[in-house]
Amino acid sequence: MVPARADLIELGVAGALILAALAAGVTAQRMVGTRVARWWRDKVGAHVEGLRPRLPSIVRHGTAALLLAIVLTVHPWGLLAAAAIGFTLACASTLTAHQLMRGVGIPRLAAYVVEVVVFTALFSRAVGGLEPITSTLDAIGVTVGRRRLSLLALVEALVTAVVLMAAVRVANRTTAHTIAHARALDATQKVLAQKIAGIGVVVFAFLFGIDLLGIDLTAFAVFSGAFGLAVGFGMQKTIGNLIAGIILLMDRSIKPGDVIAVGTSFGWVNKIGVRAVSVLTRDGKEHLIPNEDLMTREVENWSYSDRNVRVRITVRVPYDCDLQAAQALMLRAARESPRVLDSPKPNVWLTAFGTDGAEHEILAWISDPESGVGNVRSDVLNRLWLMFREAGIGMPFAQRDIYVRSWPGAASPAPGSEA
């Protein structure tokens, strides 16, 4: 059947409007898209890094889709013109959805399903409505109890879950970035606010999705008690660690960046998670300590109220040396070590007269315990070794006096006499 002249003219007008909408999308990409990408980089940073390079394309396709939706709505187009506009609108909207979902890390398969649904829905609406498609999908299903499970309900649930997942990821990451740059909060309060905001976003999205899908939660009332009891026993440790983590953040006894020692684990706190605290050791190992352990076990926090830490370095010198000169060299070695603080000043104590020499302790202060303590001791002792050699001060060693009561083949000495 040959189209009428009026339909061809209308198709030409629709084609011109389609080209204008696409051109407007390209212009918006050049003028607005790059600026939006720069703003996103400055304001959001790497929290949603995958979305930033896709923003110009999102602006381009989204602008074209918006203009085409307006064109399709403001005039009662004929079938040919409506099909052309609807097809272009569906393509632009599908490309916009694809860039958005891939930008926030939605899996490819889930993204493809949503894209097919978006394209089908928009194109079908332009050429005659969704009623035939929705009726067909709703007819394919089974009835379980009082509820009808159809292919349409499955598609609706899948699309809703994917869209809410994408929205939750963007909301969580942008909220985390906003809280991280809040000047009124310290590091611990920022971590706590980020976790509470994340939990709030997930709960809101769950309740919104349940309401959107029309799921009646009273249907679970029969087994909700038993299920809740089972979950309570099974997740007792998990819930305990979650509450312990919140308490740690609220009382600020342990903060990211603190240097702590728990049992055999020693290092600086890298992250306080929902289940465990990440402690990074000097060996490059990352220990995951459950939050409950930090609440119930003894924890040494080297930087709780003050980051200054005193390092004790044991030194023994022989009795026949100049004690004052040796102590002066000990102070000099500590002062010349680059990580030792000038205030509080290092000090030297004579702690005991040992069996092999006079025992001393060099007390030096450092302000960066996360960089390690053993390397400070090593640096001071290496400097002291060279200074002792230049000053002629030796190292003490074990000395023993031996008393011989008798030699083989010799007469035994009188009792109490020395050989």
Indicate the domain borders of the chain.
Answer: 5-187, 240-301, 309-391
pLDDT value of position 419:
44
* Residue 224 pLDDT level (bands cut at 50, 70, 90): low
More reliable by pLDDT, 304 or 254: 254
Is residue 357 exposed (0-12), middle (13-18) or buried (19+ Cβ within 10 Å)?
A: buried
**Residue 361: is its pLDDT beyond 90?**
yes
Q: Among residues of the chain, what percentage have pLDDT more than 70?
A: 78
Q: Among residues of the chain, what percentage have pLDDT more than 90?
A: 11
**Residue 65 one-letter amino acid:** A
**Residue 233: is its pLDDT beyond 90?**
no
* Residue 47 pLDDT level (bands cut at 50, 70, 90): very low
Residue-wise pLDDT for 260-290, tens only, equals 888 777 888 888 777 788 888 877 788 888 8
**Residue 129: is its pLDDT beyond 70?**
no
More reliable by pLDDT, 312 or 157: 312
pLDDT value of position 228:
61
For 24, what's the count of Cα atoms within 13 Å in the CB-facing half-sphere?
A: 14
pLDDT value of position 146:
63
Provide the token pair at 133: 């498609």
Residue-wise pLDDT for 89-105, tens only, equals 888 888 888 888 777 77
Which of 19-33, 158-172, 188-202, 237-251 has the highest average model confidence (pLDDT)? 19-33
Does pTM surpass 0.85?
no
Reported as type and span, the H/E element at residue 154 is helix 151-180
What is the side-by-side strand order in the sheet with 358-366? 309-317, 358-366, 347-353
**Residue 412: is its pLDDT beyond 60?**
no
More reliable by pLDDT, 76 or 348: 348
More reliable by pLDDT, 173 or 65: 65
**Residue holding tokens 């958005």?**
100
Mean per-residue pLDDT over the chain, rounded: 78
* Segments of 254-340 assigned E as strands: 259-262, 265-272, 276-280, 286-290, 300-301, 309-317
Residue-wise pLDDT for 284-308, tens only, equals 788 888 888 887 778 887 776 677 8
Assigned fold of 240-301: SH3 type barrels. (2.30.30)
Assigned fold of 309-391: Alpha-Beta Plaits (3.30.70)
* Residue 249 pLDDT level (bands cut at 50, 70, 90): confident
Provide the token pair at 278: 């990440």
pLDDT value of position 313:
92
